Structure 1
Amino acid sequence: MVTNNLDLIEDIQKIQRQRSCELGCTGLDHRLYALSQLKRLLEEHESEWLLALKKDLGKPAVEAYASELGVLLNEIEYAEKNLADWLKPLSQGRFLLSGKDKVVTSYYPYGSVLVLAPWNYPLQLALMPVIGALAGGNGVVLKPSEFAPATSKLLSKLVPVYFPKKVLYVVEGDSKVAESLTRLQWDFIFFTGSPETGTKVYEAAASHLTPVLLELGGKNPCILDESGVNDAAVKKIAWGKFLNAGQSCIAPDTIYVPREQLGSFLEKMKSQIQAFYGVDPQLSPDYGRIIHAEQFHKVLRYLDDGKIYYGGEYSEENRYIAPTLLVDVKPGSEVTKDEIFGPILPVIPYDSLDDLKAELNRLPIPLCIYVFSSKKETIEELQKGLESGSFSINEVIMHAVNPFVAFGGKGKSGLGRYHGEASFQAFTYPRAVYSKKAPLGLSKQFPPYSKSALQALRKLRKKIF
């Protein structure tokens, strides 16, 4: 439902807050039921979701299921299995001179949560935070991306069938709708998107002192040493880069390879692209498309920032850009500074790890660093010498679908963590209940203080408080 009726949204906020207040730190059955409904929403309409993702991004069914539906179903089932343990209160106590105290810490929902979703994985990145929010006992207002209209429309159509407004509500609309939503007073805001828009969301939330979780992006470097240039590594990198036509915030953004290995890497990558998608990827049923015309032209401009080693073909009509290897990249050009978010892969040679570390440390902190090497010393040097939201060794992408991994960035690549238990913790706050049995009491605790009170306090502070 396309709307800018903020009165309606504020009414929904009220009923969501009321429900969350009633659940408090309990209501396991209500939470599990909400998760089961979300699972039904996905499983009972699988073919419709796959069709919508095909319309929006040209995603092949296998890729769409693996990166969208399958990931969500695994996350739901993981939350269902562990939610009872996550909800258990933590009880701690101490024996003091004045008696025994006790602290019981339980996790409470924030209330009404706003989720602003992106277009690149329009189903997964819309519902992944919803899983954590529902497990935490919150109500959710979800704003899907208008740039993935088929998926957004299907969410708007199906969610009311499975959920009342007090649990989950979908608002469709453009960026103006999103801006109007962020001006309201929420209990928590979750945003996935660009650092520029994330900054605006953060500023809007700050006016109400609303907590936020920001999943942004960045230029994820993929670093190979001489031992990392091999067929297995190239196959993984090619898959991770050209998945979803390169429109992934965790895609390997730029390859750094030893100068003497540059030619070997390029030939291996060229052969791998052909093995995946044939000599003309435009004809491949397994290769996606750019989301919309504006993104198409933005990505296309990066071709001018270097020399095309392989690929470079495009079709504006079909929003198609071929998997492209870019070499002789111009220092300081846009492709070296922007998150590419498309199927263009700059390959840059380096002469020493020290020089490379110095260069990368001048850039904003990325969401992930990928390292391909069989040398323990190389891996340790890069892990200690570079900052990132996560660090992946001889793999790409897979850390982001593991519910044990608390996923998120640092600095311009994000604020906060989610997935698995981290999602439950992100969408709840710990509330401590303190009690004390003090049959004796301490006479020196209260005014007027005796001359010996300070001396006694210094000696006995660990047994007093």
Structure 2
Amino acid sequence: MTEDYKKVVDGAREAFDNGTTLPLEFRVHQLKRLKAMYSDHSQVFMDALHSDLNKPDMEAALFEVSACINDIDYILNRITSWTTPEKVSSVIPLDKSLIYREPYGVTLVMGAWNYPMQLTMTPVHGAMAAGNTVIIKPSEVSPATASALAKLVPQYLDQTCYPVVCGGVTETTELLKERFDYIFYTGSTTVGKIVREAANKHLTPTTLELGGKSPCYVDTSVNLDKAARRILWGKMINLGQTCIAPDYVLCPREVREPLVSAMKEVLLEWFGPEPKTSPDLGRIVATRHVDRLAKYLDSGRAVVGGGYNREEKWVEPTILVDVKEDSKIMQEEIFGPILPILTVDNHTQAIDLIRAKERPLALYIFSVNKDIQDTFLRRVQCGGVCINDTIFHISNNKLPFGGVGWSGMGGYHGKFTFDTFSHLKSVLSRSYNPILEKITCMRFPPYTEKKKKVMMGSVADKGDGPGVLHYLALTTQHLVSMSAGALLLYLSLHYTDTVV
């Protein structure tokens, strides 16, 4: 197996070194082919997602298939401008300064099992757009989706540039022994540390999209019915198996009972008296995760739900109250449909509780009080924030998505994905203008006191004009106010007699 992985990686490296993925036309063609794959086999993917997670068609379409198609459309509409060198201002007039975005080379994208299509392929889109070759590693925990990708991707994409490799822990461990130029991993913090350690061997830059306990604060200023709907929607998507699902709720004591009452009504309206029979709820991915979630149920008093069935991989939507801050459910990411509600005296105490934990991937603030919103924004470090709703902040491709600290490093979505997989190469093209040459030659030895004074700006104290470095560092606003001819005349009058 090791030799197989080496062969795959070596093939991708040879393709990159040969420049196969560099032409814009090639990148666009491959992205269009991938979009065709999603469209041609949308039902195949939706069936696979149902097999892996019992994912409702609505969720499979919205968060997986359509998300991938829309992401490629977004890239295709902008890729020409993204790949065009960016002009920036220069310190010295007539010089040309550019930023080139060039691909890293051979990249590895390791997907997650909870959104096994979207979280595997959207990073791939950005890596392809940036001109990299990509080793695609779906999660083995969602085997049906992994199998569909392994079968279909080679039918649409260049197999050498974009191979799909499958396998479990043993195979992934072997794969990580190979040398990559960039690694993008989505998953748990525990595995993220392993990936980072493997990447360090070759100083490989890495993006880690992890998770953590994303808090949700609710105060007395909001409409609790609307808040309940928006919180539960974010919590129950994919049966709680979402990295940015609201993990727990913090609210003042007077808010808890009316909020719980509103949540009870919403859950009954959405999923009926027997939620297990609802077609709109998924299932837990594996029995070991059912066992893990079942242990959390003793952390508080269930006012809604509390049931589970190991064989059917089912955990009932559950709301827990009277939860202690040091209980087991408050120490680990829940990743399931259990929502603990803790009471606090005020928003300051809520912030202190949040800050006592690792930095979360998402923070949800339900308050119309601007001062309270601003206090949370200033004092809580986290990956991203959504005010008066959940999940929605990731829908804007102009906002980067990513964590901080234990919730991850790096960000992506939209152009941020393209930039993640691009090295920003600085390029400066100098001018041979004779007047500018006379000025800038003062940097060359032999160093004289007069050169030093001019370069450091001390000549300005004697009324002979500003020092060269001082002048050349003037803001663009000052420079553009002069025509090229006037600028050259100014320089010649002030400096041609001092550079001796």
What residue in structure 2 maps to residue 63 of structure 1?
Answer: 59
- Look up the SS of the partner of 1:396 in the other structure: coil
The aligned runs of 1:155-304 (5 Å cut-off) are 155-304=149-298
Identity %: 37
1:362 aligns with 2:356: yes
Q: 2:375 — aligned with what?
A: 381
CA distance in 2, matches of 1:221, 1:180: 36
Secondary structure of 1:255's aligned partner: strand
Deviation, structure 1 residue 3: 7.4
Change (3 A) 1:400 1:443: closer
1:316 Cα offset (Å): 0.9
Superposed CA deviations along residues 171-218 of structure 1, whole A, max 9, x for unmatched, are 000012112222211010000011111111111111101111110001
What residue number does 1:149 align with?
A: 143
Q: 1:388 to 1:92 in 2, by over 3 A?
A: closer
1:11 maps to 10
| Mapped contact 1:16–1:138 kept (Cα < 8 A) | no
The offset of 1:93, in angstroms, is: 5.0
Identify the residue that residue 451 of structure 2 maps to in structure 1. Answer: 453
So what's the TM-score if we normalise by structure 1? 0.95
Please, which of 30, 36, 52 is the counterpart of residue 34 of structure 1? 30
Residue 461 of structure 2 corresponds to which residue in structure 1? none
TM-score by length of 2: 0.89
> How far 1:11 sits from its partner (Å)?
2.2
| Unaligned runs of at least 5 residues, structure 1 | none
**Alpha-carbon spacing, 1:227–1:94, altered in 2? closer, same or farther (3 Å):** closer
CA shift at 1:464, angstroms?
5.8
1:270/1:310 contact within 8 Å kept: yes
| Cα displacement (A) at 1:154 | 0.5
Residues 360-405 of structure 1 deviation map (CA, whole Å, 9 limit, x = unaligned): 1111111110111222222122222211111101111111122122
Instruction: Report the count of equivalent residues.
Output: 459
On the 8 A contact 1:228/1:374 being kept in 2, the answer is yes
With CA pairs under 8 Å and 6+ residues apart, which has the higher RCO, 1 or 2?
A: 1
Deviations along 1:210-259, whole A, 9 cap, x unmatched? Answer: 11111000111011101225211111111110110100001000011210
Equivalent pair of 1:3/1:171 in contact (CA under 8 Å)? no
RMSD: 1.7
Q: What SS does structure 1 have at the residue aligned with 2:55?
A: coil
Question: Is the 8 Å Cα contact of residues 229 and 261 (structure 1) preserved in structure 2?
Answer: no
Aligned partner letter, 1:205: A
> 3-state SS of the aligned residue for 1:100?
coil
- Aligned residue number for residue 116 of structure 1: 110
Is this contact kept in 2: 1:217–1:250, CA < 8 A? yes
Once the two structures are superposed, the pairs formed by residues 421-460 of structure 1 within 5 Å of their partners are 421-438=415-432, 439=434, 440-441=437-438, 442-459=440-457, 460=468
Structure 2 residue runs of 5 or longer lacking an equivalent are: 458-467, 474-500
Instruction: Provide, for residues 417-461 of structure 1, a one-character-per-residue CA deviation record: whole Å limited to 9, x for no partner.
Output: 100010111111111222212333444322222233322220121
SS where residue 437 of structure 1 aligns?
coil
**1:80, CA displacement in angstroms?**
0.8
- The 1:305/1:134 distance shift into structure 2, 3 A limit, reads same
Offset of 1:104 from its aligned partner?
2.1
Which of 334, 338, 344 is the equivalent residue of 2:338? 344
For 2:50, the equivalent position in structure 1 comes to 54
Match for residue 322 of structure 1 among 316, 341, 366: 316
The equivalent residue for 1:397 is 391
